[in-house]
Structure 1
Amino acid sequence: MGERLHDPWLVAVWPGMGTVAMGAGYYLMAKLGMHLWEELPARDLFEVDHVDVKDGLIQVAPLPRSRLFLWKDPQHHHDLIVFIGEAQPTAKSALICHQLIDLVVPLGVTRVFTFAAMATPMRPGDHGRVFGAAIDRGTLARFKDLDLTVLEGGQINGLNGVLLGVAAEQGMQGGCLLGEMPQLFSQLPYPKASLSVLEFFATLAGIKIDLTELESHAQDVEKKLETFLTRIEQAIHQVEGSTESAVPQPDEDDDEKKKPKLNAEDRQHLDQLFAEAKQDRTRAYFLKQELDRLKVFREYEDRFLDLFKSPGGA
């Protein structure tokens, strides 16, 4: 690596419910101005299980990528390594976890954290809690000191849990932070839970993160979902006794499905945002919001992550 790290912590995220983990991971990477450090070989972790068809021609689908990003804390509290996996392998989950731990242990990483979501009957307007489960008693005590809601029982599915099991076998410390979100909207992105997780993690790690953009985004989504839920409840009261069982998705979801492909104005707008983010990496999260809004993040993902390929920037 060629860089000496100061008490580095590993944070690992994969896709999951409410995009809570990925939302927090991308925001952390963007706002801290991290740079790409390493990438795990995709062919060691994933098998090709389908091909894409476009205009009648078969194209080999790209394998999901697994990348690590680095941030050196100017205050020398904790340097951070953030791992972002585009997908969770179904057959080689232990392998990727062992590879990841083997990669970071020589760098001095002793603490590992994963982010996830916790679906409850809460409403969008309710205060969102952060649940947690720790590898070690020291971290658990710290969680309690910071008033985190301890996960008393249950399971943590997927690599969010498997990685911590591997870390525990290595005698490491850390745990999983789960942002609370409404069960009713578990299939929709819920940035408020990502915000709660990052607020807690920043306090835990003793680092400063500008959360302004995420707060604004979370409030906007929260208002839309609360309005939608209220409208559904009113409709149910009006047709009480009806046998209708289907619950429609929010209007904005339908609108997104009807969006046309990017026009020249949209592409020009995105090019401008890319230029701004290249000069100031803290603008990258706003860029990602626009890519998500236009439903083209997958198309632009490599270009987006290229912004973080070298040290420097904001």
Structure 2
Amino acid sequence: MNLIDGVQALKSPWMIAVWPGMGNVGLTAGYYLMAKLGMELLSEYSPPELFDIDYVEVERGVIHTGARPRSRFFLWKDPEEQHDLVVLIGEAQPQFGKYSYCKKMISYAQDLGIKRVFTFAAMATGMHPEHESRVFAAVTDQEDLKEMRVNNLEILQEGNISGLNGILLGAAADKGLSGTCLLGEMPHIFSQLPFPKASLAVLKAFRLISGIEIETSELVEQAQTMEKKLGELLSQVEKSMGEKAEQSESFEESLQPEVPEQPKLTPGEEQRIEQLFEEAKQNRSKAYVLKQELDRLEVFADYEDRFLDLFKNRG
């Protein structure tokens, strides 16, 4: 791994890991936490032997080799000296060698002195989009289980946690590290759409556990906006199904969003993006406003590397 030189010993550090998944619940929570705490890039681990190239890019008719997914670590030093945080944001999960990948992540975490590992993920249920999202917890030891109950979190009694959200915690437990998965509840019928309300619930749960203050007003606003949109969509679909009851199309199939055309930015939108990048350079806590705008315009993938460069160490 490309560890940045000069990193001092961390104070009782915890690690949080997120990857793309249902509703982008974990990824949204991770990005929000990173932006609001003004974290700095710590290191990167993107093993070519585990991540293959899945596509090529075409620009003005010319093909270029696609980039491999990246896994980057960001650091926040706790001014209260309770728990420094390391956030791992992965662009994708490896198609094979998942446990090997996780063992390397945990080995690196141990080098940093990390004793506790969290993953943020989604739990799809039959909830209505207007209801509050619950947070389900699964842990690696009995003491952490007691802590989850004290904080009134739902306990995942049985089942499985797919992908790295679970495997990383298994690898952590094998090395004697404490592991916790926080799963934000979201409607299964909207599993292919962003659901920031679940991300907000996960961050609130993490705030209870860690005692770290996380200002969430922007995520609250985003969750309210999405709730309204999903409520309107649900009403439209229910009405449509009532009028066309004879059709055999399932309810879930009718909710699948249409594939949007490739977005094209107007000069005004490009200017707005540049303005937000400049503001985020001056104050990292404003970076999530920039991410919201990039997500709204559906161009975050085009700006992702530049966005994450905002969090490089300025020293």
* TM-score (norm. length: structure 2): 0.93
2:179 equivalent among 154, 174, 184: 174
Pairwise mapping of residues 289-308 of structure 1 onto structure 2 (< 5 A)?
Answer: 289-308=292-311
Q: Tell me, yes or no, if the aligned pair for 2:136 and 2:153 is still in contact at 8 Å.
A: yes
CA distance in 1, matches of 2:250, 2:111: 55
Q: Are residues 1:203 and 2:203 paired?
A: no
Q: Aligned letter for 1:194?
A: S
The answer for unaligned runs of 5 or more in structure 1 is none
1:161 equivalent among 166, 189, 192: 166
- Residues 257, 242 of structure 1: CA spacing in aligned structure 2 closer, same or farther, 3 A cutoff? closer
Q: Are residues 1:58 and 2:63 paired?
A: yes
- Shift of the alpha carbon at 1:104? 1.6
Q: Aligned letter for 1:182?
A: P
Q: Tell me, yes or no, if the aligned pair for 2:35 and 2:288 is still in contact at 8 Å.
A: yes
Query: Residue in 2 aligned with 1:88?
Result: 93
Query: Residue in 2 aligned with 1:282?
Result: 285
1:265 equivalent among 268, 271, 286: 268
Pairwise mapping of residues 141-160 of structure 1 onto structure 2 (< 5 A)?
Answer: 141-160=146-165
CA distance in 2, matches of 1:221, 1:50: 31
Q: Aligned letter for 1:204?
A: I
CA distance in 2, matches of 1:22, 1:288: 12
Q: Tell me, yes or no, if the aligned pair for 1:134 and 1:176 is still in contact at 8 Å.
A: yes
CA distance in 1, matches of 2:287, 2:47: 25
- Shift of the alpha carbon at 1:295? 1.1
SS of corresponding position for 2:7: coil
* TM-score (norm. length: structure 1): 0.94
Q: Aligned letter for 1:129?
A: R
SS of corresponding position for 2:205: helix
CA distance in 1, matches of 2:68, 2:21: 18
Measured against aligned partners, the alpha-carbon deviations of 1:232-270 in whole angstroms (never above 9, x if no partner) come to 2233233334444474448xx55x824641122111110
Q: Aligned letter for 2:234?
A: L
Q: Are residues 1:222 and 2:227 paired?
A: yes
1:37 equivalent among 42, 47, 68: 42
2:118 equivalent among 98, 113, 121: 113
- Shift of the alpha carbon at 1:40? 0.6
SS of corresponding position for 1:115: strand
SS of corresponding position for 2:68: coil
- Residues 168, 245 of structure 1: CA spacing in aligned structure 2 closer, same or farther, 3 A cutoff? closer
Q: Aligned letter for 1:298?
A: A
SS of corresponding position for 2:48: helix
- Shift of the alpha carbon at 1:74? 0.8
Q: CA RMSD in A?
A: 1.7
Measured against aligned partners, the alpha-carbon deviations of 1:123-156 in whole angstroms (never above 9, x if no partner) come to 1001110001001111111001111110000000
SS of corresponding position for 1:43: coil
Q: Tell me, yes or no, if the aligned pair for 1:123 and 1:182 is still in contact at 8 Å.
A: yes
Q: Tell me, yes or no, if the aligned pair for 2:138 and 2:181 is still in contact at 8 Å.
A: yes
Q: Tell me, yes or no, if the aligned pair for 2:25 and 2:121 is still in contact at 8 Å.
A: yes
Q: Tell me, yes or no, if the aligned pair for 1:116 and 1:176 is still in contact at 8 Å.
A: yes
- Shift of the alpha carbon at 1:223? 1.0
- Residues 171, 228 of structure 1: CA spacing in aligned structure 2 closer, same or farther, 3 A cutoff? same
CA distance in 1, matches of 2:250, 2:157: 34
- Residues 155, 245 of structure 1: CA spacing in aligned structure 2 closer, same or farther, 3 A cutoff? closer
- Shift of the alpha carbon at 1:229? 0.7
- Shift of the alpha carbon at 1:108? 1.5
Q: Aligned letter for 1:226?
A: G
Q: Aligned letter for 2:132?
A: H
Q: How many residues of Structure 1 are paired with residues of Structure 2 in the alignment?
A: 309
Q: Tell me, yes or no, if the aligned pair for 1:67 and 1:83 is still in contact at 8 Å.
A: yes
CA distance in 2, matches of 1:49, 1:102: 28
CA distance in 2, matches of 1:59, 1:219: 40
Q: Tell me, yes or no, if the aligned pair for 1:15 and 1:22 is still in contact at 8 Å.
A: yes
Q: Aligned letter for 2:126?
A: P
- Shift of the alpha carbon at 1:56? 3.3
Q: Tell me, yes or no, if the aligned pair for 1:125 and 1:226 is still in contact at 8 Å.
A: yes
CA distance in 1, matches of 2:82, 2:267: 45
- Residues 207, 248 of structure 1: CA spacing in aligned structure 2 closer, same or farther, 3 A cutoff? same
1:103 equivalent among 86, 99, 108: 108
- Shift of the alpha carbon at 1:100? 1.1
